[in-house]
Amino acid sequence: MPYVYILKCADGSYYVGSTTNLERRVAEHQAGLIKGYTESRRPVELVWSCEFPTANDAFLRERQIKGWSRAKKEALIRGDWDGLHEVVKQERKTREAKKRKGTESA
């Protein structure tokens, strides 16, 4: 089954990925076999994963989570659904305030 996962890197950043073999993929990241983002940020720690029915579902969720703010990712990792909704509300307010500010100065 396909999984989406979040790794916490040694520098405190998060990496989001998807795979059909979670144990193998985490071991590959840990060993530096996956070239790219995590290679120079080891060691990594698996902090969240979720199984999906299809590879396409996993891919779509991976892309969605990659676009999230750090606060949203951390709420997801904690399983804090109320906190996740609060972050979404706060981000929406911030975007709206920036939009209003932009139209006022024009």
For the residues 29-52, what does the mean pLDDT come to? 97
Q: What pLDDT, in 10s, does the model give residues 53-101? A: 999 999 999 999 999 999 999 999 999 877 787 888 888 888 888 888 8
* Confidence (pLDDT) at 91: 86
> What is the CATH number that goes with domain 1-67?
3.40.1440.10
| pTM reported for the whole predicted model | 0.86
Domain positions in the chain are: 1-67, 69-106
CA distances in angstroms from 80 to 9, 71, 74, listed in the order given: 21, 11, 9
Count Cβ atoms within 10 A of the Cβ of residue 60 and give its class: 0-12 exposed, 13-18 middle, 19 or more buried: middle
pLDDT bin (cut points 50, 70, 90) of residue 106 is: low
Q: Greater confidence, 44 or 91? A: 44
Residue 8 pairs in a beta bridge with 14, 45
Q: Greater confidence, 100 or 30? A: 30
